[in-house]
Chains A and B, each alone.
Chain A
């Protein structure tokens, strides 16, 4: 039945569709008007007309400069009407090059004309489709200057349309800079003025605010220009300040606060600027409260998360503003993913630095349950935001011991990380894991059972240095004061090959953590001997690689510390004593100008010469022969090493037969 109707439509419209192709201007005009009237307000009719292949002809009629301006106008209006149809309609319009044709037209049509307005209106409709055909609009300065001129001077309708198009188009640094050069900041500023006693109109203000936000986002240069752009007697921040006030429509206040936030984060405004602390921040906190609609609250939380992401004073201020904590806890309860995501992100930002705020967050009624639920949320954005929140909270030692344990947060976290997570989730998740695996964390044991070691070892093989760091760091934390079987498992799983690969890592922090892992593995006497009995050659080789290589002092220090640990082992001592190469290095390091290396070397020597252990005398003899004793005496005489004198004395005291 439906098909039949469409068929009938096509048949009945055939006649005037044919006339469109006529060479008689009058007939074309009549056909255009009929076509236009038939498609207005009817998506079915729009689809039908597009399926009949009329679009190319319309574009032709629209673009042909030699044609009657009225024909061009009617054709443009018709295209604009079609662009208000279904997403499929817009897609097929884009496919046929409509966006490009409109942009081409805008290069030449006279400003202020109805034709320009209709073209902009159509372009706006097309750009409101996702994804917008941004490529149709090149970053061509002549064109952009023309468009910003329209945005400043043309009719209200044209200005709003062009600003909306530019706001969608502005998605990267190139676009941001180009628009700024073309004067888009002052065009936006002109739109932000609300005449006294008039009701602010969101349809006019919102596109301008969106454009401004898109231009300033993470772009210090543009933000600086925006900061200094004035309209009348007010700068852009001052205009924005007027718009965040309580009597403005919520969506306007939200977008204005967002612009202020982006200006601040891009470095144009300091964190303690009054327009941030008395403008954007309280406005966003207010928009998060229960009285507002879910989408406003969700967006406000998201912007607030960005505003408070790094600055501790803003985090503290937000934490006491307008019951933000309970507002956010309530947003977490909202149904939409956007709301949950916004609230979790905001919690993550607020708890990033301050232990008191973390405590406030944790104490917010029922929050931890929601975080755990958030981790299990099927929407990856929500689970990622929940992990961010957890990561922030996991910086608190107290939380690790209590709340996290009570809620077994490691379970869903491990599950997420084992379930082919995206790179971002993997990064934040493994950072969180790192914190959870700290020695005092009670979550450690159950996480091991869940295959944490295997997962972390895999992380160390990732190409992203941040992930490798998280992996090795977590392993290091895990090995700290662990049982021997855990250590064995780590060594076995990581493998010596990977160990050496990590020692050669391009990221020094990875090398440091790798050596730290070795230190943690080689602690307590039994463990040292047990591990060394199996891995002695590899470990010694690793130490020598580092001591001989061109590593920074703090890396070498770690290697010496490992040596010191080995020297504490009962049998392992002999491994060092048997290696003259290592012993000579020890003498060198005792005289090293870097104090911390001297200290580390002293620690090794001290362990080796310790009296009362089997073979101590022989070791002392050997070390004295190699010059260790002399090095120690020199160290005692040196006043550069005054802080080491106690340790030097202790070591020398062991040598009493020689002194």
Chain B
């Protein structure tokens, strides 16, 4: 399935995060973000330290609230004390894990490591419940003195080995299966608890003087190979998705897929491909072919950077459309301004018509492949050259579709530098271009004043105007605007508006499906369904 490049870009960043997990990280990188890439910390912050408030008074904290020591008298079990992490474990972690190193077992080594819900009494070790059992629900612990596991009760179950000074105990929460396991010095001890409720906090408890533990919430590499389990869960989720029973028989599923491909092609105006696909699969095309071709033409113009022409064509073919949507018009004009800097657009439509576009600013950044003008002719035919319609992946390809460019290779100049008579032959036309551009800029500014003054429009205009401040705009901090890939969003907006004005869907079913899936993942995260961490949408779509 082919995606629009803008889509790919968004997804691609997610993939990048996953890749980098396997690389050596520099100190500045937040390891927690890499461990739990699907967690939105604005909504659900990760536990990064012990809470200075949510603890019993016998607990002392130090070393950025990562070291816990006992400061009570520790005479009886009534002197036990616990501390919770600052935040509960977000479900979108999928698999959550933290490790505690026993710095000192103190007098008796009565230490408990585990999880507890908000509000559970802190005057006891994790997992230890009040009598009768069940009062302090949702408290889970693994105790060092006897190796037993405690689940909101006064008596433990034999679970694992005992632990003491020097041992590293890990606690893992599988938010897909809602289970908890422990590790000792990197060895998996097996599942300790099942059926965990959501929103548990990492918790440790101490009970005798001298007990000190250090905590690693993921800021440091773990002793246990958690990546191995993450890989397993990703693979498992993938299989679960792949093997999910389809509601209908194979034939209808095929139909749906065909329909999606067909509507996608139509939506983006891949006219000939859509027709060929339609012939092969018997899918009806709901839109008039001429209408598709018109949209294709406009899209092509925008993608080629000839925004002025695109605006004119739009006005001619769909009168009133741009007038009704001043925001869209502003977007187009802004882009047109950028393209003028780029040298791919000029105000005068007759220039465009004869296939000549002139940049007022020359550049060295991108050598232009001079085409012989046939390309420009072919571009007008549209349908015959669907391939060219595909979003340009590189400069060369995009340049090929351009009409002749009268560039000034090897020379870099600012707007001001253009004004003197350095290039005598072109001087007059240069001057005219610059003046046209400045006039266009003023017009654009006036237009922006009429629009509702939101930050979006303002910063867009500022960014565009900033291009003029640099002698080589392509190399400047705002040079990203000149990238051909930036045309795609504008193209999409225009295409969607045209479709909407024709009473059709403004987005294609494929895109709707992708964004639906993405939003479902967000909902899963809110609903404490940990599998959302492992449903790697980009990997699924990239197949």
Contact = CB atoms under 8 A, between A and B. Distances in A.
Contact of B189 (A246, A289, A321): A321
Contacts of A11: none
Contacts of A321: 187-190
B161 interface: yes
A8 B232 CA distance: 56
Contacts of B188: 282, 285-286, 321-322
Nearest to A324: B190
Contacts of B186: 278
Contacts of A45: none
Given A320-B161, A320-B184, A246 B191 contact: no
Q: Is the interface of A mostly helix, strand, loop or mixed?
A: helix
B232 A320 contact: no
A181 interface: no
Nearest to A321: B187
Given A246-B228, A278-B225, A320 B235 contact: no
A323 B191 contact: yes
Interface string B157-170: 01011000000000
Given A320-B160, A320-B161, A320-B184, A247 B235 contact: yes
Contacts of A282: 187-188
Interface string B228-252: 1101101100000000000000000
A247 B231 contact: yes
Contacts of A323: 189-191
Contacts of B191: 323
Contact of B187 (A245, A246, A320): A320
Contacts of B232: 245-247
A521 B160 CA distance: 47
B190 A245 contact: no
Interface string B180-199: 00001011111100000000
Given A282-B187, A320-B189, A247 B225 contact: no
Given A286-B188, A321-B189, A245 B228 contact: yes
A247 B160 contact: no
A634 interface: no
A397 interface: no
A245 B231 contact: yes
Interface string B267-302: 000000000000000000000000000000000000
Nearest to B189: A320
A323 B225 CA distance: 18
Contacts of A289: 190
A317 interface: yes
Interface string B435-468: 0000000000000000000000000000000000
Contacts of A320: 160-161, 184, 187, 189
Contacts of B190: 289, 321-324
Interface in B105-162: 158, 160-161
Contacts, number: 39
A289 B181 CA distance: 14
Interface residues on B, range: 10 to 19
A374 B465 CA distance: 86
Contacts of A286: 188
Contacts of A324: 190
A246 B229 contact: yes
Nearest to A196: B22
A322 B224 CA distance: 13
Interface in B182-230: 184, 186-191, 225, 228-229
A247 B231 CA distance: 6
User: Max chain B CB contacts within 10 Å: which of A247, A321, A322, A323?
Assistant: A247
B368 to A, nearest CB: 37
A156 B187 CA distance: 38
A88 B186 CA distance: 52
B187 to A, nearest CB: 6
Contacts of B228: 245-247
Contacts of A322: 188-190
Given A320-B189, A322-B189, A246 B231 contact: yes
B14 to A, nearest CB: 16
A317 B188 CA distance: 10
A323 B188 CA distance: 9
Contacts of A277: 187
Interface in B457-483: none
B187 A247 contact: no
A285 B190 CA distance: 10
A317 B231 CA distance: 24
A488 B161 CA distance: 50
Interface in B486-533: none
A282 B223 CA distance: 14
Interface string A211-236: 00000000000000000000000000
Interface string A54-68: 000000000000000
B234 A317 contact: no
Interface in A311-367: 317, 320-324, 363
B25 to A, nearest CB: 19
A282 B185 CA distance: 13
Contacts of A247: 228, 231-232, 234-235
Nearest to A316: B161
Contacts of B231: 245-247
Nearest to A322: B190
Interface in A254-306: 277-278, 282, 285-286, 289
Contacts of A317: 187
Contacts of A245: 228, 231-232
Contacts of A246: 228-229, 231-232
Contacts of B158: 363
Contacts of B184: 320
A289 B229 CA distance: 15
A286 B191 CA distance: 11
B57 to A, nearest CB: 35
A246 B225 CA distance: 11
A277 B190 CA distance: 16
User: Max chain A CB contacts within 10 Å: which of B161, B228, B232?
Assistant: B228
A320 B229 CA distance: 19
A286 B188 CA distance: 9
A320 B231 CA distance: 24
Nearest to A283: B228
Nearest to A356: B161
User: Max chain A CB contacts within 10 Å: which of B188, B190, B231?
Assistant: B190
A324 B234 CA distance: 25
Nearest to A278: B186
Nearest to B161: A320
Interface string B12-36: 0000000000000000000000000
A322 B172 CA distance: 13
A246 B161 CA distance: 24
A277 B228 CA distance: 15
A247 B236 CA distance: 8
A246 B226 CA distance: 10
A209 B241 CA distance: 30
Contacts of B187: 277-278, 282, 317, 320-321
Nearest to B229: A246
A80 to B, nearest CB: 33
Interface in B309-361: none
B147 to A, nearest CB: 9
A289 B232 CA distance: 15
Q: Which 5 A-B pairs have the closest CB atoms?
A: A246-B232, A323-B190, A247-B231, A322-B190, A247-B235
14 contacts: A245-B228, A246-B228, A246-B231, A246-B232, A247-B231, A277-B187, A278-B187, A317-B187, A320-B160, A320-B184, A320-B189, A321-B188, A322-B188, A323-B191
Given A321-B188, A321-B190, A323-B191, 11 more contacts: A246-B231, A246-B232, A247-B232, A278-B225, A289-B190, A320-B187, A321-B189, A322-B188, A323-B189, A323-B190, A363-B158
Interface of B: 158, 160-161, 184, 186-191, 225, 228-229, 231-232, 234-235
